[in-house]
């Protein structure tokens, strides 16, 4: 792989990774948010595979394929199963009352991108490389994930915010190092899978017991 091809493919994968994270703030439909998360998982896998091909590392390529299967396939499938049925009695298929509206959220995303760029500059200067120059992308998605956690009311939206943070941490690890060992990455991924399984079960139980998963409404419940 030539240097130019490597940079172009890495930039393309990182651009898709960032775009899908920002679009989560734009969409309110939970099914669409899950699809965006799946697309981001595919972009994360592409980043790792490009790095693996560049370094001629079979382990990195295998890790990228495993990440793609988990974060673009299995995790979105589990979250999708926890979504309410379309046309059901509750209107939980949408994030109807976020703390911050869509326009303000997109402005906040732009501000977070500037903050991530400023924070990443000292790290980039330590070891400048195409991968290191993509670090602000991962940090932006990390901040966007935190923003989703604190501004969305639906439990499943917050699960996606948590997973955006996890994707960003994984991307940062691969962009700033020569890759983490496959065993370590698989162990972390299994922990994330377990967390999503537990959260999916809890979401279904909350819906069955209280008729909804709006966290603000659940806080108002009293014995």
Gyration radius of the chain over CA positions: 18
* CA angle at 13 for the pair 11 and 18, rounded to the nearest 5°: 90
What is the separation of C-alpha 53 from the centre of its chain, rounded to a whole number of angstroms?
23
SS3 of residue 52 by DSSP: helix
- What are the pLDDT digits (tens) for 182-195? 545 555 555 566 56
Q: What is the pTM of this model?
A: 0.81
Which of the given ranges, 33-37, 73-77, 85-89, has the highest pLDDT on average?
A: 33-37
Burial 168-207 (b: 16+ CB within 10 A, else e): bebbbbbbbeebbeeeebbeebeebeeebeebbeebeebb
Q: What is the largest CA-CA distance in the chain?
A: 65
d(CA 5, CA 3): 6
Non-local (6+) Cβ contacts of 147 within 8 A are 25, 105, 108, 109, 112, 161
DSSP 74: I
Least confident of 28-32, 80-84, 215-219: 215-219
> Would you list the DSSP string of 125-168?
HHS--HHHHTHHHHHHHHHHHHHHHHH--BHHHHHHHHHHHHHH
d(CA 168, CA 143): 9
Q: What is the share, in percent, of the chain residues with pLDDT greater than 70?
A: 74
Q: What is the share, in percent, of the chain residues with pLDDT greater than 90?
A: 33
């Amino acid at each position: 792989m030539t240097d130019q091809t490597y940079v172009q493919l890495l930039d393309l994968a990182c651009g898709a990774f960032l775009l899908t994270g920002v679009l989560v703030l734009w969409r309110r439909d939970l099914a669409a948010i899950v699809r965006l998360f799946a697309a981001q998982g595919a972009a994360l896998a592409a980043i790792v595979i490009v790095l693996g091909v560049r370094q001629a590392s079979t382990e990195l390529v295998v890790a990228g394929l495993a990440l793609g299967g988990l974060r673009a396939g299995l995790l979105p499938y589990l979250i999708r199963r926890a979504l309410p049925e379309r046309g059901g009695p509750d209107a939980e298929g949408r994030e109807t009352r976020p703390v911050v509206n869509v326009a303000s959220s997109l402005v906040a995303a732009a501000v977070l991108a500037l903050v991530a760029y400023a924070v990443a500059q000292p790290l980039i200067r330590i070891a400048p490389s195409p991968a290191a120059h993509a670090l602000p992308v991962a940090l932006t998605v990390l901040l966007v994930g935190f923003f989703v956690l604190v501004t969305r009311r639906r439990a499943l939206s917050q699960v996606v915010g948590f997973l955006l943070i996890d994707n960003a941490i994984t991307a940062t690890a691969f962009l700033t190092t020569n890759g983490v060992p496959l065993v370590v990455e698989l162990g972390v991924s299994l922990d994330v899978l377990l967390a999503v399984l537990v959260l999916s079960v809890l979401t279904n139980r909350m819906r069955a017991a209280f008729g909804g998963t709006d966290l603000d409404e659940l806080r108002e419940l009293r014995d």
